[in-house]
Amino acid sequence: MQNGGRYENNGGNVSGLTAETGAQVDFMGGTGISVTVDSGATIGAVQSATLTSVTMTAGGSLEVSNGASATDVTISGDVENTLVVGSNGYVSGVNVSGAVDNSAQGSAGGEVHDVIINSGGVADDVTVYHDHLVINGGGLASGVTLNDAGITVQSNGVVSAMTVNAQGIYAAYINGGVSYDAIVNNDGAIVEYDNGSAYNNTVNTGGEDIVLNGLSEAATISSGGIQAAETKGVTSGTILNGGKLEASEGGIASGTTVNAGGLEVVGAGGTAINQTVNSQSTVVVDTSGTIGGQTILSGGSLSGGTISAGATVSVLSGGYESGVTIASGGSADIQSGGSGSNILIERSGVENVAQGGVVSNFTIDTGRQNNAGSAVSGLIENLGEERVQSGGYDADMTVTGHGHEVVSAGGTAVNTVFNDTGFGFIAGTLDDATVNSGGWINVSSGGLTSHTTINGSGSEYVNAGGSAVDQTVNAHGTLTIASAGIIGGTTVLSGGSLSGGVLSSGAKVSALSGGYESGVTITAGGYSEVDSQGTATNISIVDNGIQTVASGGLVSGFEINHARQYDWGSAVSGTISNLAEERVMSGGQDSDMIVTSHGHEVVSAGGIASHTTYNANGFGYISGSAVSAVVNSGGIDADFSHLRQFRVIL
């Protein structure tokens, strides 16, 4: 049929028809076999017409409607062809190798089946109903709308501006090809697999974006929409606006922004990297999921997962992380106003808590936490280290199994329990600590421990310039104070021991029954009491310091220099000088004292002093008994009425 001609078939059978430029052929029924539509020609098929093996070349037009059908349609050429499937029309087996406009567009019940766009084929503004569109390598389709229909974009094929509506049994498969700017609506799904890629997907309520060994980049998932990355699938730069992202079984979610109402779930084997978690949004990570590079903003929350080597999670003001494991080489930063709980820091992992940040219920197992904020209820073990920095605050720590709590100058720790091989290094303040058997704390210069309880085989060492106040030393516990260390308010119970240190003004040490103190210096305003069955040795009482020895108590090897000792018990081998005073009270016993240089020994009624030596300017006042005293040259005893075996050596 040539240019300008018109042919109408009303039920006949036509074979080998070619409609050339400007021609119009109408099939009002009947059949057409091997029909060719050239440039500018138009073929229409209506009613019960059946066309088979239709070829459309550059610029041709085929319209099928009203009960007609066309099968095995080939669209070729470089100029756009037009294929329109109207009301109740049916087209099947469309093969596109050239340009096509409105390809496979069905309306009001029209159906198109098995559309294929091959290399060099271009289809624009394509609508497919109830079937499948295939774009092979080198093919291109844009403006595709799928209504209860599917698409497969093969390797090197491209689809753009696709709208995926409710699909039933169908889906949009990006099988090695590329999709740009797809919109996935309710009950629609796009699947990137076999290295397929999709860019700028928009997934609305009820839609799905499933990434299987493919890539989805810069997708936006709205409330009720879902994106899933599995089996080496990767999502990059996804924005969750109330939607949900799931990464599991080898899937990776990278650079996700989780906004209000958004939820990211990192399941077993999944990985999330460089996430931003904003207000009122949540990231939940399975115990075997991996996370890294997260930023959690105000109102956002991260739950679970492992922060792996080289990865960092930052919890900003108002953000929250929980149930996270920080593995070797991983790190977490809790910024001011941020918080975390149920954290496990292991294998050289690091958590940093800034001033104003809060962490609670954590375990440090071979890892480290640097705390300049607040840390509550932690377990530190297996060479784990809690560093309380200046301004930092620890409460209710348990340190055990070679764990370390290091309190820097300006830092504070309260209610720490040091168990077997748990260690404390105190340059700041430690209050209300308990040191149990095998535990050990070291107080350096400027450090202060107060209200510490030292139990069996626990020990505390206070270096020069350090202070220990209100300590309780129980059976087999040990408190050792360096020569320039300061102690005060310490109670040494049965089996406990205090060694060294200086009792300063207002401070008190009590060695109770079975307790032991040694090497202590009691200075002005300091006070030491040795109770019944308590023991003290190598004590220096100076500058108006005071020591009392109760009945049954024992002190030995001491010196009193411008100070006082009251003895109701036993005092052995002391030196009294420089206006010092040894008062032997009723029931008290002194033995082997040396009184010299204006020192005084006062033996009250009922008291006994034996083998005292009074050297030059040594004074004795005896109202009780003095046995075997020696007064050397310059020594003076004011009352000899109760002396026995007394001798004066001039």
pLDDT tens digits, 197-224: 999 999 999 999 999 999 999 999 999 9
pLDDT bin (cut points 50, 70, 90) of residue 288 is: confident
Least confident range of 78-92, 118-132, 420-434, 615-629: 78-92
Least confident range of 35-44, 157-166, 349-358, 422-431: 35-44
Does residue 556 fall inside a structural domain? yes
Q: Tell me what pLDDT residue 647 has.
A: 43
Does residue 612 fall inside a structural domain? yes
Q: Are 46 and 65 in contact (CB under 8 A)?
A: yes
3-state class percentages of the chain: helix first, strand second, coil last, to nearest 5: 0, 55, 45
| Token pair belonging to 228 | 């899933």
pLDDT bin (cut points 50, 70, 90) of residue 537 is: very high
pLDDT at 175 over 50: yes
pLDDT at 285 over 90: no
Q: Where are the beta strands (DSSP E) in 2-67?
A: 6-9, 13-15, 18-19, 24-27, 31-37, 42-45, 50-56, 61-64
Bigger pLDDT: 132 vs 433: 433
pLDDT at 545 over 80: yes
Q: Tell me what pLDDT residue 171 has.
A: 92
Does residue 547 fall inside a structural domain? yes
Where do we find the tokens 């073929």?
Answer: 43
| Token pair belonging to 150 | 């599917």
Q: Are 112 and 104 in contact (CB under 8 A)?
A: yes
Does residue 320 fall inside a structural domain? no
Residue range 38-62: mean pLDDT, rounded: 86
Q: Tell me what pLDDT residue 402 has.
A: 98
Bigger pLDDT: 21 vs 605: 605
Residue range 508-513: mean pLDDT, rounded: 84
Q: Are 165 and 185 in contact (CB under 8 A)?
A: yes
* Spatial distance between the Cα atoms of 246 and 231, rounded to a whole number of angstroms: 12
- Which amino acid is located at 32 in the chain? G
pTM above 0.85, yes or no: no
Residue range 60-76: mean pLDDT, rounded: 83
* Spatial distance between the Cα atoms of 162 and 199, rounded to a whole number of angstroms: 11
* Spatial distance between the Cα atoms of 329 and 312, rounded to a whole number of angstroms: 9
* Spatial distance between the Cα atoms of 510 and 533, rounded to a whole number of angstroms: 12
Q: Tell me what pLDDT residue 439 has.
A: 97
Domain end position, chosen among 98, 130, 162: 130
pLDDT at 160 over 70: yes
Q: Tell me what pLDDT residue 109 has.
A: 47
Q: Tell me what pLDDT residue 68 has.
A: 87
Does residue 182 fall inside a structural domain? no
Does residue 257 fall inside a structural domain? no
* Spatial distance between the Cα atoms of 357 and 333, rounded to a whole number of angstroms: 9
Q: Tell me what pLDDT residue 168 has.
A: 83
pLDDT at 308 over 90: no
pLDDT bin (cut points 50, 70, 90) of residue 469 is: confident
Q: Tell me what pLDDT residue 548 has.
A: 96
Q: Tell me what pLDDT residue 4 has.
A: 62
Does residue 24 fall inside a structural domain? yes
* Spatial distance between the Cα atoms of 541 and 585, rounded to a whole number of angstroms: 18
| Token pair belonging to 636 | 């003076």
CB under 8 Å to 366, separation ≥6 — which residues?
A: 346, 347, 348, 382, 383, 384
pLDDT at 488 over 90: no
Tens of pLDDT, residue by residue over 105-117, are: 544 445 555 677 7
Bigger pLDDT: 458 vs 40: 458
pLDDT at 648 over 50: no
Domain end position, chosen among 78, 100, 130: 130
Q: Up-side HSE of residue 83: CA atoms within 13 Å toward CB? A: 40
Bigger pLDDT: 451 vs 78: 451
pLDDT at 447 over 80: yes
Least confident range of 315-324, 506-515, 576-585: 506-515
Least confident range of 6-10, 238-242, 343-347, 432-436: 6-10
pLDDT bin (cut points 50, 70, 90) of residue 97 is: low
pLDDT at 645 over 50: no
Cα radius of gyration (the chain): 47
432 secondary structure, DSSP code: S
Tens of pLDDT, residue by residue over 137-152, are: 988 888 888 988 899 9
Least confident range of 86-95, 258-267, 473-482: 86-95
Least confident range of 14-18, 74-78, 377-381: 74-78
* Spatial distance between the Cα atoms of 235 and 220, rounded to a whole number of angstroms: 11
Beta bridge partners of 556: 537, 572
Phi-psi region at 284: left, alpha or beta (left = phi > 0; alpha = psi -120 to 50): beta
Domain end position, chosen among 130, 153, 181: 130
Domain count, the chain: 2
Task: State the pairing for strand pair 453-454/472-473.
Answer: parallel
Least confident range of 87-101, 181-195, 278-292, 578-592: 87-101
Query: What rounded mean pLDDT belongs to the chain?
Result: 88
The three-point CA angle 267-273-279 to 5° equals: 85
Q: Are 63 and 42 in contact (CB under 8 A)?
A: yes
Q: Which of 30-44, 126-140, 189-203 has the highest mean pLDDT?
A: 189-203
Q: Tell me what pLDDT residue 195 has.
A: 96
Q: Structural domain of residue 543, as residue ranges?
A: 539-650
Instruction: State what percent of residues in the chain have pLDDT above 70.
Output: 92
Q: Are 249 and 271 in contact (CB under 8 A)?
A: no
Does residue 628 fall inside a structural domain? yes
Q: Are 509 and 532 in contact (CB under 8 A)?
A: no
Bigger pLDDT: 313 vs 410: 410
Beta bridge partners of 299: none
Residue range 18-27: mean pLDDT, rounded: 87
DSSP character string of 198-254: EES-EE-TT-EEEEESSEEES-EEETT-EEEEETT-EEES-EEEB-EEEE-TT-EEE
Beta bridge partners of 643: 626
| Token pair belonging to 173 | 């498969």
State the sign of the Cα–Cα–Cα–Cα dihedral 406, 409, 412, 415: positive
Least confident range of 84-98, 437-451, 576-590: 84-98
| Token pair belonging to 385 | 């280290």
Beta bridge partners of 616: none
Residue range 387-414: mean pLDDT, rounded: 99
Instruction: State what percent of residues in the chain have pLDDT above 90.
Output: 56
Residue range 416-442: mean pLDDT, rounded: 98
